[in-house]
Amino acid sequence: MAKCTFLGLGVMGYPMAGHLVKAGHDVTVWNRTIAKSVDWASEYSGSQAGAITEAVQNAEFVMICVGDDSDVYAVAEPAIAAMNPNAIIVDHTTASAECARKCHAMAQAKSIGFVDAPISGGEAGAVNGQLTIMCGGDAVTFERANPIMDAYAKATKLMGPSGAGQLTKMVNQICIAGILQGLAEGVHFAQKAGLDVEDVVQAIGKGAAQSWQMDNRASTMAKDEYEFGFAVDWMRKDLGIALKTAEAVGAELVLTKMVDEYYKDVQNMGGRRWDTSSLLKRLT
């Protein structure tokens, strides 16, 4: 059993912190909206704190899952100041590689370990404890943190030094954006051609066209259902990070730029909180 703290109880963090309790760890949580942490503590019989410095006191592992770079800095800086040497921070936020490297340096200056560990799998993955985690940091720190992350992960992998986890998550989002645009066009074509989308998916879903997105989103897309899943606002945030990084490293992301603009169209249609599969809405 380890003494853990979880900072940030959003759609992902809330169930992830719960899995730590189920795994037998001693867990304290903190959230900007205190009511959320109170609800969590009641549901999981855990502890909640009103301040970050209180929450991380004597913690061996501190997990962070917030919104963006600015949120990470706002949480990590007071946490690092209050943590004990030899403790470890695991940041599950999807943020920039630069943010990861700066936080790693801040932590290292206080002899605290830091792992950038963005996650993939969506809300369902968090609820079911089946997340994929891409990690950046040193091997010793990763090996210490890995058994703790096992509480909510189906797969974890160390990708390289600090920032490598975030870079890998950018690749993940780049690939998803392209797949979803292709799926949207495929569903759109099937509908216009008078085909039954369910029949089409059954016919092609076991072949080369198969993808997680097809298996889990084609049916809901055909039904015009988007009030769930990973929000367009968050996808644009992630793609923005990827596009900015691409400029810095000299990578050309033609399709990603195009799909990001398409998501902007969806936002303008009122779909800021729609699932990312809502790219189809532009075509109907």
**Residues acting as catalytic residues:** 169
Are the C-beta atoms of residues 226 and 277 closer than 8 Å to each other?
yes
Residue 92 CB: number of other CB atoms within 10 A? 27
Could you tell me where the beta strands, DSSP code E, fall in 34-144? 47-48, 61-64, 88-91, 113-116, 119-120, 131-136
Q: What's the length of the chain?
A: 284
Backbone torsion region of residue 122, taken as left when φ is above 0, otherwise alpha when ψ lies between -120 and 50, otherwise beta: left
Q: Is 249 exposed, middle or buried (0-12, 13-18, 19+ CB in 10 A)?
A: exposed
Are the C-beta atoms of residues 76 and 7 closer than 8 Å to each other?
no
Residues 6+ away with beta carbon under 8 Å from 172: 120, 134
Residue 138 CB: number of other CB atoms within 10 A? 15
CB-based contacts of 189-195 (< 8 A; 24+ apart in sequence): 191/222, 191/284
